[in-house]
Amino acid sequence: MSTHAATAPAALPSESTSSPCACKALGVGVAGIVLTIIGLFVSDGHAVALSWLTGVTFWTAIAIGMLMLVMIHHILDASWSVVVRRQFEHGLAAFPWLALLFAPLVVVSWMGSHDYIWTWMNPDAVIHGGHTVGHDPLYVKKAGFLNLEMFTAMTALCFIIWIWLSARLRKASFAQDADGDLKWTLMNRKTAAFGLALGAITLTLASIYWIKSLEYHWFSTMFGVWFFSNAVRGALSVGVLLMLWLYNRGDLKGILNTNQLYSIGMLIFAFTVFWAYVTFSQYFLIWNANVPEETFWYNLREITKEGEFSQWGWVGMVILFGHFLLPFLYLLSYRNKITHTRIKPIVIWILLIIAIDLIYNIAPALKADHGHGDPLPFLSINLLWTATSIIGVGGVFFWAYLKSFPKAKLIPIRDPRINECLTHHE
C-alpha cells in the first residue's frame, strides 16, 4: 500500500464556504422543528409524537448506514470508496444531535404520557378485547424486555455506542491527514472489527424498541435486517447527493470520477435487491404460516374492518413497486449509474420511498376510535407533521455535517489507498 499523498486538489475547505450553508441548514431545521411543535397545540398529540418519531428515525437510520459503510470500508480495506468515505465521516457528526432530538420522546414517556407513543408503557391502557396491557399474556411474557427502564437504557446505550464508534473513526481518519501514519488505518480497522458487531446489535435493538414495539403483539425475526437495508441504501443515496453537490461546486472536479459513481450505484442496486429479498421473505413466511399474532400486522395495512382494500394497502403497493421494481429496472442501466443528471433523481426517489416505508411501519399504530378502529388514513393531517419532522431533523443533520466539513481535508489525502482510489476503475 502506498503512503504517498494524493496529487489531486484537496485543500482544507475554508470556513467561509461552509458557514453560510450551515446557517441555512440550521434555519430550515429550526423552522421544521417549530412547525412540528405548533402541531402539538393544533392537532392530536399522539399523531405529532409518531410523526416526530418518524423524522428522527429516518435521519438516525441514514447516520447508522453511514457508520456501517465506513466500518465496512475499513474491514475490507476498500480503495475505491476512500473519497466517498470522508463525506460519511462528516455525516457521523450528527449523532449527538440526533440523540438530543430523540430525547423528548423519552422524557414524555417518563412524565406519564405513556399512551402518547408506545402503548405498552401504560399498563392501564385498554387494548382490543377489553383487557388492559398489564393483563395481556403477550405483554407479560415480554415485560422483561418491554419496560420503560429497559427502553431508556437501551436507547441511551445505542446512541452512546454510535457516538463513541463515530468519534474513534473520525479521530483516526482526520489525524492521518496531518501525519500520514499507518497506525490510524490499523486503528480504524480494529474499530471496524468489533464495531460492526456492535452496530448490528444496536441498530436491531433500536428498530425493535422504536418501531416494532409500537404494535408489540407482532413477531418478526427479520425486522433488524429490514431496518439495516433501508439505513444503508439511504446513506448511499445521501452520499451521492453530497458528492454531486461538491462536484458542482468545483471541490471534487478532477477527483470524483464515473467509476466511483458506478460503484456506488452498484451498491445501491445490490441493497435494492437485498431489501426486496428481506421484505418478500418476511411477508411470504407470515402469509404461509397464517399465525394470527403475525398476520394482524399486515391485515391492518391491507384491509379495513369491513374487509375492503384500505388506503394503506395502496401505500403498500407504492412501496412494492417504488422501493424495488422502479430502482431495480432504472439501475440496470450503466449510464443511469454514472451520469450525474440521471443518478440524482433516482436517489431522491429512493429517499422518498424509504420515508414512506418508515411511515408505513409507524403511522398505522395510530388507530381511529382510541385504538380500536382502523389505522388513520395515510393522507391525513399526520402526514403534514411527518413532513415537518423530517425537514426539521434533516436541517439539523446537514448543519452538523457542514459544521464538521472544515475540520478535515476535502479527501483523506494521506490514506494509503488514496492513489488507488483516484485511479479507480471497474
Helix (H) or strand (E) holding 22: helix 15-42
What is the per-residue pLDDT across 185-214, written as a single tens digit (0 to 9) for each? Answer: 999 999 999 999 999 999 999 999 999 999
Judge whether 252 lies within some domain: yes
pTM metric for this prediction:
0.93
Phi, psi of 309 (to 5 degrees): -65, 125
In 237-370, at which residue ranges do the beta strands (DSSP E only) sit? Answer: none
Judge whether 10 lies within some domain: no
Mean residue pLDDT of the chain comes to: 90
For helices 258-289 and 223-249, angle between their N-to-C axes, nearest 10 degrees: 160
262 lies in which domain range? 15-422
pLDDT classification of 1: cutoffs 50, 70, 90 = very low
Judge whether 7 lies within some domain: no
Judge whether 220 lies within some domain: yes
Mean pLDDT, residues 319-337 taken together: 96
Percent above pLDDT 70 for the chain: 93
What is the per-residue pLDDT across 329-340, written as a single tens digit (0 to 9) for each? Answer: 999 999 999 999
Strand partners, 367: 375
Instruction: Report whether 262 contacts 337 (CB < 8 A).
Output: yes
Q: How far apart are CA 129 and CA 360, in angstroms?
A: 25
Mean pLDDT, residues 140-156 taken together: 94
Cβ burial 57-66 (10 Å sphere, 16+ → b, else e):
bbbbbbbbbb
Judge whether 417 lies within some domain: yes
What cell numbers appear for 364 in the block?
398505522
Q: Which residue has the cell 412540528?
A: 36
Q: What integer pLDDT is reported at residue 386 of this predicted model?
A: 95
Assess whether pLDDT exceeds 70 at residue 2.
Answer: no
CA nearest 394: which of 346, 345, 355? Answer: 355
Q: How far apart are CA 391 and CA 359, in angstroms?
A: 14
Phi, psi of 367 (to 5 degrees): -100, 155
Judge whether 349 lies within some domain: yes
Cα→Cα distances 53→29, 125, 142, Å: 16, 20, 22
| Coil, strand or helix at 126 | strand
pLDDT classification of 11: cutoffs 50, 70, 90 = very low
Within 10 Å of residue 345's Cβ, how many Cβ atoms? 11
What cell numbers appear for 115 in the block?
399512551
Q: What integer pLDDT is reported at residue 305 of this predicted model?
A: 80
- In total, the chain counts a number of residues equal to 426
Mean pLDDT, residues 48-72 taken together: 97
The dihedral built from the CA positions of residue 121, 41, 388 and 401, taken in this order, carries a sign that is negative
What cell numbers appear for 351 in the block?
429517499
The DSSP result for 184-221, as a single string, is: HHHHHHHHHHHHHHHHHHHHHHHHHHHTGGGGTT---S
Q: Kindly tell me the number of DSSP H helices and DSSP E strands found in the chain.
A: 16, 0
| Coil, strand or helix at 309 | strand
Q: Is 375 left (phi over 0), alpha (psi -120 to 50) or beta?
A: beta
Q: What integer pLDDT is reported at residue 368 of this predicted model?
A: 57
Q: Which residue has the cell 439511504?
A: 234
- Residues with Cβ within 8 Å of 292's Cβ and at least 6 positions away in sequence, in order, are none
Judge whether 88 lies within some domain: yes
Judge whether 387 lies within some domain: yes
What is the per-residue pLDDT across 164-181, written as a single tens digit (0 to 9) for each? Answer: 999 999 999 999 999 988
Query: What residue type is 248 in one-letter code?
Result: N
For residues 356 and 112, which has the higher predicted lDDT (pLDDT)?
Answer: 356
Query: What residue type is 392 in one-letter code?
Result: G
Assess whether pLDDT exceeds 80 at residue 313.
Answer: yes
Indicate the DSSP class of residue 367: B
Angle made by CA atoms 330, 60, 374, in degrees to the nearest 5: 80
CA nearest 359: which of 198, 214, 240? Answer: 214
| Coil, strand or helix at 109 | helix
Q: What integer pLDDT is reported at residue 113 of this predicted model?
A: 62
Highest mean pLDDT among 15-29, 111-125, 132-146, 151-165: 151-165
Assess whether pLDDT exceeds 70 at residue 426.
Answer: no
CA Rg value for the chain:
22
Q: What integer pLDDT is reported at residue 17 of this predicted model?
A: 55
What cell numbers appear for 219 in the block?
413477531
Q: What integer pLDDT is reported at residue 166 of this predicted model?
A: 97
Measure the N-to-C terminal CA separation of the chain; round to a whole number of Å. 19
What is the per-residue pLDDT across 337-394, written as a single tens digit (0 to 9) for each? Answer: 999 999 999 999 999 999 999 999 999 988 754 455 678 777 787 899 999 999 999 9
Total structural domains in the chain?
1
Weakest-pLDDT range from 6-15, 20-29, 248-257, 338-347: 6-15
Classify residue 216 by burial, with Cβ atoms within 10 Å: 0-12, 13-18, 19+: buried
Cβ burial 185-203 (10 Å sphere, 16+ → b, else e):
bebbbebbeebbebbeebb
Q: What integer pLDDT is reported at residue 7 of this predicted model?
A: 39
